[in-house]
Amino acid sequence: MRDRVTFSLQFLFTLLVAAFLAVPAGLSIAAGVTVNYFRGIQSGVTLQWVVQVWELYADTIVASILIALGTLAVTLVVGVPAAYALFVRGGRLARLAEEIITLPLAIPGLAIALALLLTYGGFGSFRRSWLFILAGHVIFTMPFMVRSVMAVFATIDVRSLDEGAASVGASPWRRFVDVIIPNAAPGILAGSLMVVTLSLGEFNLTWMLHTPLTKTLPVGLADSYASMRLEVASAYTLIFFVMIIPLLMAMQWIGEKGSSR
């Protein structure tokens, strides 16, 4: 009896926390498809605000997608080999390099952006291009890719796999592509989803680095809340949720599959 009461209280508390988090998001989504938010749902349902967001801010949405994909490409090309090298080499130097790579996790995004501005702000064309934001996103998301891949390496005998492939004459490149990467696929996929999700939603760092011609989705979202009707801003939030929620669900699914394995 006591266990049932405890479970019921815990379940009720969980529902209250979930409602506390979900209700504001639900109200924001509802506002984005309501003709007049202040009159409520009885004013009618419409997609005109979503269409208006696309007309006004389509460039920011496309820019965010391109930057997220570019960030993913760089973190894959650099992060996966780096994780492999750090795990195989080991030692103090490898641990030091790992700490340097993961340092952005402990530094506010605004501080990283300020450091980039002080270092590279004088390069005019680079400063004004989307590549400047891409560089910031790579620095910010690289630790998540490296950590995800290294976590998978920790669960398998990488050295034995590598030595076994070498014993049959496989070159280092073939061993990495044909043996290491397939075994690290769950970590690579989880890291990839995390990188894309974080890049799409990153605001602090991007806000400092962007120019009027290089706005991303979160910056456009803040701009819409500051200067447009509430319905338009809420419709923008709806578009953001449509992009992010499938990625979050995929991350949850991968995490559950990894736990079951």
Q: Which residue's entry shows tokens 């460039």?
A: 59
CATH of the domain at 216: 1.10.3720.10
The confidence band for 259, taking pLDDT boundaries of 50, 70 and 90, is: low
Judge whether 8 lies within some domain.
Answer: no
Instruction: Look at residues 213, 234, 212, 215 and name the one whose alpha carbon lies nearest to residue 224.
Output: 234
Q: Please provide residue 209's backbone torsions phi and psi, each rounded to the nearest 5 degrees.
A: -95, -20
210-248 pLDDT, tens digit each:
888 888 888 888 888 777 777 888 888 888 888 888 877
- pLDDT value of position 258: 56
Judge whether 18 lies within some domain.
Answer: no
Higher-scoring residue by pLDDT: 133, 260: 133
Judge whether 218 lies within some domain.
Answer: yes
DSSP string, the chain: -HHHHHHHHHHHHHHHHHHHHHHHHHHHHHHHTBS-TTT-GGG-B-SHHHHHHHHHHHHHHHHHHHHHHHHHHHHHHHHHHHHHHHHHH-HHHHHHHHHHHHGGGGS-HHHHHHHHHHHHTT-HHHHHSHHHHHHHHHHHHHHHHHHHHHHHHTTS-HHHHHHHHHHTT--HHHHIIIIIHHHTHHHHHHHHHHHHHHHHH--HHHHHH--TTS--HHHHHHHHHHHS-HHHHHHHHHHHHHHHHHHHHHHHHHHHHHHH-
Measured CA distances, 236 to 30, 59, 133, 175, 248 (Å)? 12, 13, 21, 46, 18
Judge whether 141 lies within some domain.
Answer: yes
Q: Which residue's entry shows tokens 């690289």?
A: 142
The range of the structural domain enclosing residue 160 comes to: 50-260
Judge whether 138 lies within some domain.
Answer: yes
Judge whether 45 lies within some domain.
Answer: no
74-121 pLDDT, tens digit each:
999 999 998 888 887 777 787 888 788 888 888 888 888 888 998 888
Domain count, the chain: 1
Judge whether 106 lies within some domain.
Answer: yes
Higher-scoring residue by pLDDT: 142, 42: 142
* CA–CA separation, 224 and 57 (whole Å): 9
Higher-scoring residue by pLDDT: 33, 139: 139
**CB neighbours of residue 226 within 10 Å:** 8
Judge whether 61 lies within some domain.
Answer: yes
